[in-house]
Amino acid sequence: MIYESKDIELKKVILDEMPGGPEAFELAAKFCYGIAVDPTADMVAALRCAAEYLEMTEDMEEGNLIFKTEAFLNYVVLSSWKDSILVLQSCENLSPWAENLQIVRRCSESVSWKACTDPTGVRWQHTKEGNDSGPMGPDWWCEDVSILRIDHFVRVITAIKVKGMRHELVGAAIMHYAMKLLPGMIKDGSLGSGEEGSGMASGASKCNCGLCIITMVNKPDHHSSPQGKRQREIIESLISIIPPQNDSVSCSFLLRLLRIANMVIVSPALVTELEKRVGMQLENATLADLLIPSYNRSETTYDVNVVQRLLEHFLVQEQMDILSPERSPIVENNEGIQRRNEPNAKTIVARLIDSYLVEVSRDKNLSLTNFQVLAEALPESARSCDDGIYRAIDSYLKVHPMLSKQERRRNTTIVSSGWATAKKDINTLKFDLEAVKTKYLDLQHDMEILQKQSDNIGKLKHQSSWSSGWKRLSRMTKITTIDNARIRPQGNTEVLKTSRRWRNSLS
């Protein structure tokens, strides 16, 4: 570089693109001057990238720095769980050199193979102190991979999924990573600050669900801040790698992820995908999970439109399960008999939505249309009891005393129309049940008649085949006895012998 500059007065060369910075250059320089350089896991990646940048190949000298660092990576780092994790972590500041030199790929593969291997009896040294010994569960690797940057974490999880790791363990790692990297993912009620509630919509009360990130709500432009962009990248990446199985992650986790996704303005397509995932297991949600703040996007405290979309996705999934019974969730009871999950998912969701309506009905800014659309989304048959919807309507009418008579009538008809339909359905079901009972009794009576006829036919066949033979034999015996009596005197003993012999032969 000095020679090519042709500058006689040049006294300094600036290496702006040097990977690894001054530390890596100093180690490379020491290596050139014969000073012993012992690579370590936390700096070998930087030293390998620096050697590549400085073109320290075998063409210059045998046993050059590229060869030395490659040997350390292949024979030391990739055989160690802890070192592979540390090298991956050190590659965060070495893009794109670490990617181009396949260091990230090789370490990700090493970590994924070891995560899918039974750790019993193998020398795994965890990155977290205190985990070097003792029994380890199947999710022993989740904590260690959670220290990685999101792009490297995605690489590891993708490789683990390809190797057949159980989906619930993959989901456990994703949940652990999100709860560690995303504030507001843990239900501990300690996420607020002294400014609680100051940024809520006008007329809204303090949100006490324990999940709101109040400090972020107070900043409408949080999604454009560096922290918001980082969180958006994490959420979008996590959504893309969640296994498709329903039980891979919990419904509560998905809803908390959705809460933050709405706040940092995640891609609409990914938000829709997340809402569909929630709708597929909405019966497992809780009221606190559904209380998603509006984040100043509407006048209401909670985002009722989100819950309405979740309910629509749930109903679509229910309809698909009805049309395709093999897709419905099947469980096995103690007797080994497989049957559908009970109680009915629609009934559980109806109770959940009624509780949600009771909560949001206290919001003065909630329109009658939004309330009624959500209340009427579920079919009348989903509610086994109307107490919940009655309480919601009563609460809404108390908080909204300025409603006209017509609007109040519209609100009360939500239950009265449903009750009339329910009574009609009940009567229809009763009639159908009586018809089924009658048919069952008729079939049972016919079955008894057929059974008696079958038994009688069997007895007749049995008697005809044996009794007729014995009757013929006894008739022949009598004829022989009579004929012998006519020929000989009755006192003759030979007659008795003959008849007895005849009987014996017959026997």
pLDDT digits over 112-141, tens only?
A: 999 998 666 455 555 554 454 456 788 889
* pLDDT reported for residue 185: 79
Per-residue pLDDT tens digits for 70-108: 999 999 999 999 999 999 999 999 989 999 999 999 999
Residue 249's alpha-carbon distances to 9, 238, 383, 419, in angstroms, are 65, 11, 28, 38
DSSP 3-state assignment of 117?
coil
Q: How far is CA 111 from CA 81, 209, 239, 317, in A?
A: 6, 38, 22, 37
Same domain, 172 and 279: yes
Final residue before a domain boundary, out of 280, 297, 314: 297
- Whole-Å CA distances, 390 to 360, 363, 386, 413: 14, 17, 6, 11
Neighbours of 230 (CB within 10 A): 14
Per the DSSP assignment, residues forming a β-bridge with 332 are 338
Residue 333 belongs to some domain of the structure: no
Q: 264-289: per-residue pLDDT in tens?
A: 989 999 999 999 999 999 999 999 99
Q: Is residue 71 part of a domain?
A: yes
Q: What are phi and psi of 106, to 5 degrees?
A: -65, -40
Strands (E), 168-237: none
Is residue 146 scored above 90 in pLDDT?
Answer: yes
* Listed residue (120, 302, 133, 158) closest to 243, CA to CA: 158
The domain in which residue 221 lies consists of 166-196+207-297
- Distance, in Å, from the CA atom of 114 to the CA atom of 81, rounded to the nearest integer, reads 7
Residue 103 lies in a domain: yes
The token duo for 304 is 């009722």
Q: What pLDDT sits at residue 495?
A: 45
Q: How far apart are CA 105 and CA 103, in angstroms?
A: 6
Q: Are 70 and 51 in contact (CB under 8 A)?
A: no
| CB-CB contact of 204 with 298 (8 Å) | no
Is residue 114 domain-shared with residue 22, that is, in the same domain? Answer: yes
pLDDT digits (tens, 9 = 90+) for 192-242: 332 333 333 333 334 444 334 333 444 455 667 788 889 999 999 999 999
Determine, yes or no, domain membership for 403: no
Structural contact between residues 287 and 302, judged by C-beta atoms closer than 8 angstroms: no
Q: How far apart are CA 45 and CA 104, in angstroms?
A: 9
Name the helix (H) or strand (E) containing 332.
strand 330-332
Inside any domain, residue 349: no
Mean pLDDT, the chain, rounded, equals 79
> Hey, what are 399's tokens?
């908080």
For 216, what's the count of Cα atoms within 13 Å in the CB-facing half-sphere?
A: 26
442 band by pLDDT with thresholds 50, 70 and 90: confident
Angle at 497 between CA 491 and CA 503, to 5 degrees: 125
109 with 186, same domain: the answer is no
User: How far apart are the C-alpha atoms of 20 and 197, rounded to whole Å?
Assistant: 46
Residues 176 and 267 in one domain: yes
pLDDT in tens, 319-350: 887 776 555 554 444 444 333 444 588 999 99
Cα angle 204, 206, 209; round to 5: 120
Q: Among 311-315, 371-375, 471-475, where is mean pLDDT lowest?
A: 471-475
Listed in sequence order, the residues at least 6 apart from 99 whose beta carbon sits closer than 8 Å to its beta carbon are: 105
- Same structural domain for residues 115 and 171? no
Residue 437, in any domain of the structure: no
pLDDT at residue 441 greater than cutoff 50: yes
Are 109 and 230 members of one domain? Answer: no
**Do 190 and 293 lie in a common domain?**
yes
pLDDT for residue 448 is more than 60: yes
Neighbours of 150 (CB within 10 A): 16
- Identify the pLDDT of residue 117: 85
What is the percent of the chain where pLDDT is above 70? 71
CB count in 10 Å sphere of residue 430: 10
What are the tens digits of pLDDT across the range 380-402?
Answer: 788 888 888 889 888 888 888 87
Range from 16-25, 295-304, 325-334, 421-430 carrying the lowest mean pLDDT: 325-334
Q: What is the mean pLDDT of residues 463-474?
A: 58
Please tell me whether residues 172 and 277 are part of one structural domain. yes
Evaluate whether residue 486 is within a structural domain.
Answer: yes
